[in-house]
Amino acid sequence: MHNFNSGPSILPKEVFQQASEAVLNYNNSSLSILEIGHRTPMFESILHEAQSLVKELMALDNNKQVLFLHGGASTQFFQIPMNLLDEKAMAAYLDCGTWGTKAIKEAKLFGKVDVVASSKDRNYSYIPKDYQVPDNAVYFHYTTNNTIEGTQMHAIPETNVPLVADMSSDILSMSLDFNRFSLIYAGAQKNIGAAGVNIVIVDEAMLGKVSRPLPSMMDYREHIKNGSMLNTPPVFAVFVCMLTLRWLKAKGGIAGMEGINRKKAALVYDTLDSLPLFQAPVAKEDRSLMNVVFRIDDPVLEKEFQQICRDNNMYGFTGHRSVGGFRLSLYNALPYESVVAVTDLMKDFAKKKG
């Protein structure tokens, strides 16, 4: 079985094994991980290890706080401007796809938004390059990897404005200076763990500057003060994150994983570029290492190839419902052997049908 799902997505086999054992009996306690108290030493050690591993793997400075919060990245679309953007202030946003568009919509509820650039004119098939971030913006928000459109930012934008990044689909997949960001957020269900928890990494210096009163559950300062346990956290989801972070560290950390990810992506893109039957719409310099999108112009052949993929135990192969075509998600846990299998299938199909 080859799992190319875009999220929730593939997890390491070791994590499945360890998590399944913990469901029956966590750490020889005779209790399931699903029933342990969240304010007990058993869970507190899990949470603290997960936070510590994030800090270690990303080489974060002491002023960065790691939070495990409820919900996915979509919650952060409004929680971020609620905490950082005053009504009369302005935030800058880059529009490079579906998730950036949704984040912009939510931010406009709380203050002024300057969309500094957009790639909508070419169906989000590239990343804008020549744009200016206004110096008076309270922050600049962008999506590092566009899961649906298959584009990725391969370098951190040069600006003096505080950076806020949605890293949901490429966090921990490539080396970056994560300390250059004032706030990073990511839904866990791609490279970190199971669905149901969201990671937020925030510089405390960014907080407490808006004039509006904040509901406690929406206030990052309250979550920091309560150590990510302002209310009952998603215990099992956090546990799976901790196991996945352990796995990543054992694999050589982010740098080790980046080498494997580049090898996987290179094989797929080299295959696509060598086979005229398949069309890859994304600008080559902006191609994602995580989500490869492509299509076949002939609808009959496209359906036939979809069926062949299913017959060969390949799952999550179809593109997002809004764009169609195909999508291969090459997240950290996807084995290189799965990429070899799918590219061999593509070559064989193109030879017969091309």
Q: Tokens 């593509």 correspond to what residue?
A: 346
**Catalytic status, residue 247:** no
Q: Cβ neighbours of residue 218 under 8 Å, at least 6 residues apart?
A: 79, 82, 83
CB 143, CB 101: distance < 8 Å: no
Decide if 99 is catalytic: yes
Which candidate in 64, 95, 170, 190 is catalytic?
Answer: 190
DSSP of 264-306: HHHHHHHHHHH-TTSB--S-GGGB-SSEEEEB-S-HHHHHHHH
**What does the alpha-carbon distance between residue 246 and residue 233 come to, in Å, rounded to a whole number?**
20
Kindly name the residue from 95, 166, 170, 219 that is annotated as catalytic: 166
Angle, helix 253-274 to helix 336-353, in steps of 10 degrees: 0
88 labelled catalytic: no
Which of the residues 64, 95, 99, 286 is marked catalytic?
Answer: 99
Give CA–CA dist 131/292, Å, rounded.
Answer: 26
Burial string for 167-204 (b: 16+ CB within 10 Å, else e) reads bbbbbbbbebebeebbbbbbbbbbbbbbbbbbbbbbbe
* Under 8 Å between Cβ of 277 and 353: yes
Catalytic residue numbers read 99, 166, 190
